[in-house]
Structure 1
């Protein structure tokens, strides 16, 4: 039975059980004076990220967010919490003042903020949730909570992104804590001091233009689930500048897809039947790339593998100029080969992003663990000015289940009994996403096959943050408009508005073609964006790779209460695709084998 005695104060106390830093405490610390955290809730927090955590949490748990609507003459009902232009302007101006543009210290909370907090505090002992009826009107404290959310959201503009030469005081204070966390733990999954067993707060890129959700209420901050459910790790753009000229945020992004492996043998799928059951485990034993433990084999063939990759990049660059990114599909490489590619690519002029599925990973202690992972690396300037790679790996969230139809479609009957269902034998220890900031203003993340199809838990993170680009790494058949990847890519392209790129290997595609059960296809990838465009990406018969050109496009978005972001968002659009062909490609690589030593 629901406890209607759970109050607003109870909810705030759950978020900040030891209190939070208010403006008086902040000033005392600046003067070197001891100051305890504020626990009585008489005054608001001094940081926008903490105020957002409170206001968004209250509106979410109470259900107040879906009553909010901008004023439209004659279109509101008694159940609507109508926000007029005067209120929006007041909140935007209050957020601007509290942001502290060009200031070293946090400004005092503006009057609009303190008035709204005082109104919220007045109802602090009221129940957080009350059952509604057909005649229910907005709760008296919802408007105050909405005002606080909007002011906090406006004050957090550009947090987590590289915008201009000077950071606002609010963004700078949050980012100091963010970078301290990255140096300490290597990753950051919240910028708020609110209990991360309750909620996490991170920056965001896109505001959905469809639906009526809490994420529709903010441009700059996202309220995410507690750390135990799933975590999104944010990697901000480095502040240290390199000798290389900066790439303009609106410049085209040239991306090459190498659909490795080009051949997949049925024996790569290894099955272990369960006793007295109609199912079993399977794992993939990649014959196309040695594991990270097989260092000697990697040593023998890596130079030839790199020559192949470099040849693809050089061929693509002759057509488009600079190649900025490189993608391999699911389970294409081992972690050791991935890191060696990073070492080679760090000196390549203009290169920015490497993404691949990897079939093993390495922890901080150096131990190798098999599984199914997405590896993402952004080329950053180091403290010495030399280029290096920020590398992050995360594991798949859901196991692939292979059934009779797929066994027949990929001709795997020699390895897997079609009378059984086969589950991918991987451990699922942590559910997380890595979000990298690109060019200071855009974000990119990865999904792994089943993660694209399953709505929980990772898609709550994707929708909350709204990455500009989502790269889905697949071990799948042809990427057609009427198959499952296109359906699920459409969901994310509509909400939050991400551009979605799916890529699969040529090897599994060819196994499907060879069965002749379906029309032959050369579609190794698929593109879907917020304009509704869906493009199938073909690999020409003589090509080893495909080069895509993506165009970051400035757009204006509005929140559910009607606030515009003044074209502060980007939509990434596909504006070019061309085959990449090299002379005399390595035969062993094209046959799905690791190269021999020189």
Structure 2
């Protein structure tokens, strides 16, 4: 049976089935808007000219390189390389790519500049091979295909032209303004919400998505290694990462803020009862569903929430104030997996707006608003939430994003025994977490102008698919993994999986667990007593356990954003503004006379 080869044309038509806007169409649309006419709908469908947007060119050429495998033939020029089998990139070639990308970026222009002549030459070279097969088996004597070099250089030029897209800078390039202004207008109108878009490209999102990126891997040979500024991501049906632009009302920070980042972890719930877990067995007797019924915090919009919130907030404030008395301003507060309800988190956000210097709140949730439902409708499950706080002209606001867990936790006999849950769950069954998985996504927040943060929930850290492809592509500077787990020791699973992300793409990873299950493990007595409620790993290879000493209600962790220079697979350096967030301090936080209800796993004032 003969299988026909897919051509470059077929792939490019799949990526842009309705065509794209080139520079001539872009100018026509600008003119129409200036004359207050309705812009035309023309698009390029024959590939006679390149896209006007660097992001669109990146999507198109990146998809070709990924599907053909051409990217892994790229390497910088060194002695001993075989130019017939590789795309060897000299220093002069890198410099030329950067020069063309800088011109096309339009750093000092208000409108998109036309594609430089050198870019148009490369485009013509690529489209001369539209009917060539996309993939050809390399065989024993591999040779670079005729169109590879043009596609790679166009991909790298697009990456260089996208240098400041997605981040806050005082002087935005024309390419960045072209991409970001429509997104900001939609967000201001509430159509996309705080979560932001899953792609910045007009390419078909069922084929490929494109977002900005923070870190370039220094190990491996992947398509991720070939770009500094843009990430080629999988189609939306697999998973989507929502990129949240920094509000323009915030004072711009061109190259990021290198000031230390002080973060407090409050490991709620401090106590978890066995009866918090309840199971519904299956008919075949081998497995069942389990639910977590939180006794440490009430569900959203219940009378108990309002009755105990003031006491809870006073406790949180005292912990933050005690930490601030040692380190100065506290910038971030983290609660572990399933620590709070959405209602409590939302009210906490409103109160923390008054706290000077506060930037970020992260928490696991056990309920969240129903997608697309009327206000007040919530569903139970396992979620993570991030709230970013913005200050401008004496006022503070916050952007709040919520997303659900990607994988169900499976409790086996060993875990049931370790956590002493046998009174609630049959040790002879495997128990699956009873949650719906309606969608798989990540939220990425830009912090301090030039850094990014995202969150994972327990199993999301351990499973490679689907979210790890998003994390590795975007390369967030800081990843917070929220767990309901045992001690965070160097020899346990969170450390293994954090190491993977710390190496590729180079993210700093903080895993935090509640004290409740850790304490249940201690009480069983099968293992030496432990107090490691957190673990930190960064790109230096250092792993640090974060302990909660007896009598402490929290831990203050200080991170130091550290600038460094990274290089792509073809040898291009970035502008030296990549950041590694590295650990520079750990201090326990003790509050005298702390609320006994909260530390005993009870909501203040609630019935036992």
SS at match of 1:553: strand
Query: CA offset at residue 194 of structure 1?
Result: 0.3
Query: CA offset at residue 275 of structure 1?
Result: 1.0
Alignment partner, residue 474 of structure 2: 465
Alignment partner, residue 35 of structure 2: none
Instruction: Indicate yes or no: 2:233 matched with 1:228.
Output: no
Deviations 1:388-435 (A, max 9, x none): 110000000000000000000000000010100000000000000000
Q: Which structure 2 residues correspond to residues 159-238 of structure 1 after superposition, within 5 A?
A: 159-163=165-169, 165-182=170-187, 183-186=190-193, 187-238=196-247
TM-score by length of 2: 0.95
SS at match of 1:105: coil
SS at match of 1:513: helix
Query: CA offset at residue 181 of structure 1?
Result: 4.0
C-alpha distance in structure 2 between counterparts of 1:482 and 1:86, whole Å = 47
C-alpha distance in structure 1 between counterparts of 2:55 and 2:580, whole Å = 25
Instruction: Indicate yes or no: 2:361 matched with 1:361.
Output: no
C-alpha distance in structure 2 between counterparts of 1:145 and 1:248, whole Å = 32
C-alpha distance in structure 2 between counterparts of 1:402 and 1:18, whole Å = 48
1:73 pairs, out of 66, 76, 79, with 79
Is the contact between residue 278 and residue 419 of structure 1 (CA under 8 Å) also seen in structure 2? yes
2:388 pairs, out of 375, 378, 383, with 378
Deviates more, 1:511-520 or 1:493-502: 511-520
Query: CA offset at residue 143 of structure 1?
Result: 0.3
Question: CA 1:539 to 1:478, structure 2 compared with 1: closer, same or farther past 3 Å?
Answer: same
| Root-mean-square deviation over aligned CA pairs | 1.6
C-alpha distance in structure 1 between counterparts of 2:154 and 2:274, whole Å = 58
Q: Which structure 2 residues correspond to residues 118-129 of structure 1 after superposition, within 5 A?
A: 118-129=124-135
Alignment partner, residue 102 of structure 1: 108
Deviations 1:284-329 (A, max 9, x none): 00100001142x1011100000000000010011000000000000
Instruction: Indicate yes or no: 2:503 matched with 1:503.
Output: no
C-alpha distance in structure 2 between counterparts of 1:332 and 1:455, whole Å = 25
C-alpha distance in structure 2 between counterparts of 1:548 and 1:5, whole Å = 55
Query: CA offset at residue 3 of structure 1?
Result: 4.5
Q: Which structure 2 residues correspond to residues 204-283 of structure 1 after superposition, within 5 A?
A: 204-241=213-250, 249-283=257-291
Deviations 1:109-128 (A, max 9, x none): 01221111010011111011
Alignment partner, residue 7 of structure 1: 7
Instruction: Indicate yes or no: 2:49 matched with 1:40.
Output: no
Query: CA offset at residue 82 of structure 1?
Result: 0.8
Is the contact between residue 4 and residue 127 of structure 1 (CA under 8 Å) also seen in structure 2? no
Query: CA offset at residue 248 of structure 1?
Result: 6.4
Query: CA offset at residue 347 of structure 1?
Result: 1.3
Query: CA offset at residue 542 of structure 1?
Result: 1.4
Query: CA offset at residue 102 of structure 1?
Result: 1.8
C-alpha distance in structure 2 between counterparts of 1:428 and 1:62, whole Å = 33
Alignment partner, residue 22 of structure 2: 22
Is the contact between residue 205 and residue 219 of structure 1 (CA under 8 Å) also seen in structure 2? yes
Query: CA offset at residue 147 of structure 1?
Result: 0.6
C-alpha distance in structure 1 between counterparts of 2:87 and 2:539, whole Å = 29
- In structure 1, list runs of 5 or more residues that go unmatched: none
Question: CA 1:491 to 1:245, structure 2 compared with 1: closer, same or farther past 3 Å?
Answer: closer
Is the contact between residue 250 and residue 553 of structure 1 (CA under 8 Å) also seen in structure 2? yes
C-alpha distance in structure 2 between counterparts of 1:3 and 1:537, whole Å = 57
Alignment partner, residue 286 of structure 1: 294
C-alpha distance in structure 2 between counterparts of 1:46 and 1:132, whole Å = 33
Q: How many equivalent pairs are there?
A: 593
Alignment partner, residue 400 of structure 1: 409
C-alpha distance in structure 2 between counterparts of 1:245 and 1:76, whole Å = 44
C-alpha distance in structure 1 between counterparts of 2:164 and 2:526, whole Å = 52
C-alpha distance in structure 1 between counterparts of 2:186 and 2:58, whole Å = 20
TM-score by length of 1: 0.97
Question: CA 1:496 to 1:2, structure 2 compared with 1: closer, same or farther past 3 Å?
Answer: farther
SS at match of 2:191: helix
Is the contact between residue 240 and residue 385 of structure 1 (CA under 8 Å) also seen in structure 2? no
Is the contact between residue 22 and residue 43 of structure 1 (CA under 8 Å) also seen in structure 2? yes
Deviations 1:44-78 (A, max 9, x none): 00100000001100000001011111111114463
Question: CA 1:552 to 1:4, structure 2 compared with 1: closer, same or farther past 3 Å?
Answer: farther
Q: Which structure 2 residues correspond to residues 298-377 of structure 1 after superposition, within 5 A?
A: 298-363=305-370, 364=372, 365-366=374-375, 367-377=377-387
Alignment partner, residue 452 of structure 2: 443
C-alpha distance in structure 1 between counterparts of 2:20 and 2:254, whole Å = 38
Query: CA offset at residue 2 of structure 1?
Result: 8.4
Give 4+ residue runs of structure 1 displaced > 6 Å after superposition. 244-248
- In structure 2, list runs of 5 or more residues that go unmatched: 33-38
Is the contact between residue 255 and residue 450 of structure 2 (CA under 8 Å) also seen in structure 1? no
Is the contact between residue 231 and residue 474 of structure 2 (CA under 8 Å) also seen in structure 1? yes
Is the contact between residue 256 and residue 450 of structure 2 (CA under 8 Å) also seen in structure 1? no
